Amino acid sequence: MTKTLNIAMVSDFFYPNVGGVENHIYQLAQCLLANGHKVIIITHSYENRIGLHFITGMLRVYYLPLLVFYNQCVLPTIIGTLPMIRTILLSEKIDIVHGHSSFSTLAHETMFHAKTLGIFTVFTDHSLFGFADASSILTNKILELSLADVNHAICVSHTSKENTVLRANLQPQNVFVIPNAIDPNEFSPVELSNGDGRLRIIVMSRLVYRKGMDLLAGIMPEICQHYSDVDFIIGGDGPKRLLLEETKEIYQLHDRIQFLGAVPHNRVSEILNQGDIFLNTSLTEAFCMSIVEAACCGLQVVSTSVGGIPEVLPTDLIHLADPSVHSLLTNLHKVIENIRKGNVTSKPEIHKKVSRLYTWPKVASRTEAVYHSVMKQRRPTLKGRIQKVLSCGPVIGKLFIIFIFLDHLVCRILDIIQPVKSKHSEDITTKVHCETHFAVKSGKR
């Protein structure tokens, strides 16, 4: 089982962009490297960051010069990226292509080419989708086509698995659940000596509708009026900041509510340590890293019970509420009273419990198990692909077959005019930029 593999992680989202997916890819790649595998990362270029870059642990990142057109995703060209990606995959002798995020066009395209080249594919889905609106219908169909012949899919929670199985019409046995993780050392409680007896409620998220900022706007004045010694610290930025600032103005809560704006990830634990209660008001969430981070810092967590959130923390570490102002308030009152009475587990104890739950080495070893299971399967063939894609739909399936044929054809032509000699990693003499002091800092805050 200890065979080392050559793995290519692909996503549009990577450093210098920041967020949950970026962090996931980086951490997973580092752990797999540590386990002796060869890992490369393929993403699109960011500003002047083009070509092959080396980052921490000699992790190789290919920044491809592609046109970004919407939300950090590259323009879908179906076969336009083939020459570049084929050269990388073949010269690096890649065994498994691992795509991340269903929004990433680059991930889908690379997986598409990988199947043409007979390389195994694994896909990790990080998000939840509905089924009702037009954009979901379109995205879900694309996902179904892309995942029709994927070897294995990974989801971050059971809810996310159900969602992906329905969206992409997959066999549930082929979908693995591997949660996200955090670095517990980064999030440890620090006793601050500002014992002024005031309680602080921390909110850390992008200030957007989907994160339930309208609920927060209803909660803040109620809590501030009810308790004279409970304050809010709000980290993050976004379009709903206006609403929250307005609430602050209307209720004259200037000394009670503090806005920090966008917070870099390395300051998150510092801010979490200033508080006693963490409030999450998301309306939908596949996994929710921020509540794990907060609990790891020893905070009391109050959260809406949506998406995968009820699966994440044991019931004694989280207070789940319905997504309504009333329910969240009831829970907050309960928690505040418990803290006042000293009726809560101490911060270091909570940290001890949480720090064991989600760690990157665990995620890496579970992902390795998926890779090994993939390696036992049969290599993707043209015939098998066509059969699977045909089952996706009477019209779109046939249309997609044309693209598959085209991809194979262009691939054959490239084999003749542009043969790839696979080289060992040591031979690479390309001009590279070494960045030894690099760390992906996550958190779209």
Q: Which residues bind another protein (CB under 8 A)?
A: 128-132, 152, 157-160, 162-163, 165-166, 172-179, 210, 212, 214-215, 218, 283-284, 286-287, 304, 306-308, 310-314, 323-325, 357-358, 366, 369-370
Secondary-structure breakdown of the chain: helix, strand, coil percentages, each rounded to the nearest 5: 45, 20, 40
Residue with smaller CB distance to another protein, 221 or 310:
310
Closest C-alpha to 125, from 206, 51, 180: 180
* Own/partner pairs, 345-348, CB within 8 angstroms, 24+ separation: 345/316, 346/298, 347/189, 347/191, 347/297, 347/298, 347/299, 348/189, 348/298
- Two tokens, residue 357: 């739950």
**Min separation Cβ 202 and another protein, Å:** 21
**Min separation Cβ 151 and another protein, Å:** 12
Q: 3-class SS at 441? A: coil
Residue with smaller CB distance to another protein, 209 or 405:
209
C-beta separation of 284 from 211 below 8 A:
no
Please give the Cα distance from 106 to 327 (Å, whole number): 41
**Min separation Cβ 179 and another protein, Å:** 4
Please give the Cα distance from 88 to 9 (Å, whole number): 12
**Min separation Cβ 215 and another protein, Å:** 7
Residue with token string 């920044």? 63
Residue with smaller CB distance to another protein, 27 or 284:
284
**Min separation Cβ 161 and another protein, Å:** 8
Residue with smaller CB distance to another protein, 23 or 157:
157
Residues in the chain: 445
**Min separation Cβ 378 and another protein, Å:** 18
Please give the Cα distance from 249 to 97 (Å, whole number): 51
For residues 414, 153, 32, 78, the Cα torsion angle rounded to the nearest 10 degrees is 30
Residue with smaller CB distance to another protein, 45 or 330:
330
Residue with smaller CB distance to another protein, 69 or 209:
209
**Min separation Cβ 14 and another protein, Å:** 25
Residue with smaller CB distance to another protein, 109 or 144:
144
**Min separation Cβ 374 and another protein, Å:** 11
- Two tokens, residue 436: 């030894």
Strands (E), 190-276: 199-204, 230-235, 257-261
**Min separation Cβ 150 and another protein, Å:** 13
Residue with smaller CB distance to another protein, 14 or 358:
358
Largest CA distance in the chain: 76
Residue with smaller CB distance to another protein, 159 or 205:
159
Residue with token string 């509510």? 257
Measured in degrees and rounded to the nearest 5, phi and psi for residue 415 equal: -60, -35
**Min separation Cβ 268 and another protein, Å:** 21
DSSP line for 98-129: EEE-TT-HHHHHHHHHHHHTT-EEEEEE----
Residue with token string 């501030």? 224
**Min separation Cβ 424 and another protein, Å:** 33
Residue with smaller CB distance to another protein, 251 or 403:
251
C-beta separation of 401 from 386 below 8 A:
yes
Residue with smaller CB distance to another protein, 116 or 290:
290
Q: What is the DSSP letter of 427?
A: G
DSSP line for 140-207: HHHHHHHHTT-SEEEESSHHHHHHHHHHHT--GGGEEE------TTTS-----S-----EEEEEES--
Residue with smaller CB distance to another protein, 185 or 305:
305
**Min separation Cβ 327 and another protein, Å:** 11
